[in-house]
Amino acid sequence: MATAADAELVLKLYEMRREETLRRARRFLIFDFHPKTVDELRVVSRDTKAEHNASWRQAISFWEMAAALVLRGALDADLFLDTSPEGILLYAKYHHFHAETEKQSGNPFMRQTAALIAKYPAAQALHEGFLKSFGAAKAST
């Protein structure tokens, strides 16, 4: 059951999301960046000199931090998932690019978010919904 402290933390995370640099990073990853190949993704995700690499690192690390708070019991999972599904959206949007490299490297993409999805049925449902939504969007283009 969520507490007042959980609510305060959710509001603090929301406040952090409103910071302009993070807002631009999130907007880029959600609305503007649509790689079609692993190579297109890696130009942003791996090249530290690329224009949008900082956006990639900032948005992904923000949501990984938030997922870790839930997994470690610092934030009620139900409240977090009800109010902050964006990290799961990013995982759903980009994970398929990393599936093969994860097998080779043993370094999972968005490890905390993946654990959140595996642990909580509500997170699994969100993930599945986002995957369906992305599939429908691809089918209509």
For the whole model, what pTM was predicted?
A: 0.92
Over residues 31-72, the pLDDT tens digits come to: 999 999 988 998 999 899 999 999 999 999 999 999 999 999
User: Closest Cα partner for 9 from 60, 78, 79, 64?
Assistant: 79
Say how far apart CA 44 and CA 66 lie, in whole Å: 22
Give the chain's domain count: 1
Over residues 103-132, the pLDDT tens digits come to: 777 888 999 999 999 999 999 999 999 999
User: What domain range includes position 73?
Assistant: 4-140
Say how far apart CA 18 and CA 50 lie, in whole Å: 24
User: Closest Cα partner for 88 from 69, 115, 107, 108?
Assistant: 115
